[in-house]
Structure 1
Amino acid sequence: MGAGHPSLPRRHGHRGVPRTCPPGPHTRPTAPLVPEPRRAYRRHPPPLPRLLRRTRPHRGPQRPLPTPDPTLLFVNAGTVPFKPYLTGESPAPWPRATSVQKCVRTLDIEEVGRTTRHAARIGVVAVTSEASVGAGMRRLEAAVGIEGFGYLARERDLVGRIAEQIQSLRVELPDRIAALLERLKATDRENQRLKQQATLGRAAELAAGATEVSGARVVTATTDEGTDAARALAMAVRDGLPAERPGVVAVGAHPAGSGTAVLVVTVNPAAREAGQDAAALVKRLLHGRGGGSPEPAQGGGLPAGQLAKALASVPGLITRA
């Protein structure tokens, strides 16, 4: 028989020269009779004893429902397929054997992962969210197995699209995003500084053009920004009025796209001594709505079309006061 005969297993002699021999009781099959996952396991074996790394004929996976054993509902241990051999019901076909068996563990499922004896492999674990639920306690949500692979694939696709949009390599994304966020914060700070300068400039103009009403300086104005901007403008105008004379400032805020307006009223200390109350003025202008302290007060819910009329009535309220 030639050394290249395809039907005979190849073995090595004591000098490492390949030789062939007919199959017999002392020969072992060299081709792994195992499914693909176990072939990969054999190509890259972990550091196991030599006995476990020997190639043995594969019997095939057992079903989770043991047949024909009526004493078990599920296969709950890797030794279940060997039960007939352990009990002596039938002779074992191999002198040695190892078990890789899917099991349904229900008796000690709560102990899995807590001890070194209770272990389980669930494949890929992709953490999807993490939050604190108490002192020293955190809640983790994760996708495992094939769902974990799907989650990681979606995350990879998302990272790729982000890298394409900001024109950066994936490995450079953290530094690039951090730089963009820093630029955004710097831009916001500069924007706030410019807004503050514009507010102070407008406040000076409004204070200079205040109207004299019954010995008090009265200023009314509007802004198309939010409540915070209206409050800042009203306070800046009040601070720009002469401190020795009563001063009343009313600013209406009507943000773009909003159907209602907010009214902010503030008075200086001289006006407080003269009996003016910002909270009372707001309630009279808004028909009982709004409130605050005697110096700054505000109220909302005013229809945008009635804002000009409400501001025009402020001098009359000062006169009657």
Structure 2
Amino acid sequence: MNRSRLHALVACGLLAGALTSIAAPSGSGQSADAVVAGVLMPAWLERQGSRQELTAGIALQNRDRLLTGTNARVEVRLRDGSVLRLAADTHCELNALGVREPEVFTAAIDVPQGAVRFTTGHLAHSLRQRAVNLRVGTLTASVRGTDLWGTADGAGDRICLLEGRITLLQPDRDARQVSEAGSCYLAAKDGSPAVLQTVTAAQLAWSAAQTAMPPAAAAANQAETATASRPARMARTARRGSWSVEVAAVDGEAEALSIHDRARAAGYGVRIRPLPAAGGGYRYALRLGPLSSEEEAAALAAEIGNALPAAPLSLVRN
């Protein structure tokens, strides 16, 4: 049983690597309503009762649920050109996702926990308008053209306007029109009316930074997208010299599967790679990558070390 499962995982890992080399992440998602543009692990996708690790290039569907772990970031590009950014320890549900007549993009984005930034973009050529609602905790912003940030935590629910205008809704309260940048509404957990607060540009910048993709991770995502959009031969050349984090290299199949399952459960999409052993047979390396630089691999290794303290981590060059 272990051998059959191990062989299946190895085959899937090899196939995934090949597909990453020749298929642009956005290629399969050009007509998708939402596509994952970048991920700083650990992060997961829940769909129809099952959970999988979240990776760049995945086309998202209506009713998908995104979850981020400690220090994670996720960036999603919607069909209307808008960008959704999730901070660490955030839950996000995508509802009413699609295009309705006449050429209207719709989405109801629900963030019951964590921090989110939503920035509208230019409408796609196939669309005329959008109808997007962003709910953060108990507060809902009806979005037209704007840039806003929100968070839901133990202190309450907040929506802050960075630019543009929104209509703010709260259960059993009158709607409020908000158009002044720096306006933040705080709804306490006791259900009292939202209180208007005005924050400084520095405070807004700090808030927005909580959802921003770190520069190294953003560069890696861009490089991966650019590499994947080239012909297969060029893609393979571009990927040479990249780095991976080796979570472990073990002799036994059962041990390899155990580490694989622990890493995947923690949100790290490791792949099993068989390596010839000195005395014959194979050892099994569990690796995460490729990554664009040694520095990025080292940072990821430190993060994985906290999630999987027993794993003997090392950096390897592909």
Q: Normalising by structure 1, report the TM-score.
A: 0.20
Higher relative contact order (CA 8 A, sep 6+): 2
Q: Normalising by structure 2, report the TM-score.
A: 0.20
Structure whose residues are more often helix by fraction = 1
